[in-house]
Amino acid sequence: MSRPLAILSGVRGAEVLRVLRGDPTRRLGPDGALIAAARSHLEAAAAAWAEAVPEGVVVRVTKEAVVGVRRCELRHLDGLGRRLEPGQPAVPAVVRGRLVDAVFRQVATTARVGGDPLADAVAACAADGEPVEGDLAALSEAERQQVRAEVEAATATLVASWPTLPPGAGVRTQERLLVSLAGGRVVLSGRPDLTIGRPTRRRAGVLVCEAKSGSFRAAHLEDLRFYALLEALRWGVAPFRGVVWCLGDGRIEALDIDADLLWSETLRVADAVTRLTRLAAGEAPRPSANPLCPSCPLLPGCADGARQVALAGGGVLADSADDEDEDDEVAELVR
């Protein structure tokens, strides 16, 4: 269950620590039958088209791809093609997000930052093999100053609020979670900002934590569900909780992981696996009408989209947050 928790200025680390821990008495124990059923269902979804995928092609299923392909297969493929073209402009929100992620990892592991948070974050991104200096330099001077201000504000919030974790907390930053299906032809792939704890044989012992530089959106909870499923498939024990901390509006959302959540996420991801594998096999993408149709560049030739726009009264319903999701998807694919 999602539990919104407003985090105000001056919050102490002990309060955040209580949010991270949740209620230990409510943590799930291992459920081997559920995990086996989830894997079996995902294997069946992958197997439906895996043999038709060209040799050497691996279908990578990320959290962004799950959202994009289920929203509209046609827009998903076109958006990837456009954004992977060389010379695409840097997006300030995406640059800011990558820098804040780096700051969050540094604060979570060392509880401190240097005198220039932006420079530290740029160096951390480069050290992780994901340089952001070029994209930062490509922004206008006003955009760079805005990014700097937002990174410094996020840093101040994190340093003031992040708790000191106990020794042996098992902190892992951006650990790659990979789950192979169909003999490796399909791979579920995720990389949460922060994972704390270790699974045990008696009960769930892992917390997944994400930091977002902007304001809270419902899509952030989908990220947590995706990571929870990957952790469960990898270790055979689900995390006990997922937490997203949105620094733009100071909001924390805690998502307790239970059997119903894991199974519903299995169904969502399985649907995306089937779609992505079918597309990789060369099948034509299928358009799907959705609230983002008014801003879609493919609208002039899309009957489904035209009907959606007519139903919506011709209004543009998309927002910049959805564009950020697509940029994140490209960043994930090219890593």
Tokens of 167: 């020794």
Residue entry with tokens 């977002």: 212
DSSP 240: S
In the structure, what pLDDT confidence band is assigned to residue 227 with cuts at 50, 70 and 90?
A: very high
DSSP code per residue over 27-66: PPPP-HHHHHHHHHHHHHHHHHHHTTSPTT--EEE-HHHH
What's 1-289's CATH class?
alpha beta
- Rounded CA separation 42/185 (Å): 13
Q: Which residues contact 163 (CB under 8 A, 6 or more apart)?
A: 13, 14, 16, 17, 20
State the chain's mean pLDDT as an integer: 85
Report for 76-85, 154-163, 217-226: range of highest mean pLDDT: 217-226
For the stretch 294-314, pLDDT in tens is 888 888 888 888 888 888 776
Beta-strand ranges (E) seen in the chain are 2-6, 59-61, 172-173, 177-181, 186-190, 194-197, 206-212, 241-246, 251-256
pLDDT at 51 over 60: yes
For the stretch 248-278, pLDDT in tens is 888 889 999 999 999 999 999 999 999 999 9
pLDDT at 214: 87
- Rounded CA separation 30/179 (Å): 18
Q: What's at 323, amino acid-wise? A: D
In the structure, what pLDDT confidence band is assigned to residue 315 with cuts at 50, 70 and 90?
A: low
Q: Are strands 186-190 and 59-61 parallel, antiparallel or unpaired?
A: parallel
Question: For the chain, how many residues are written?
Answer: 335
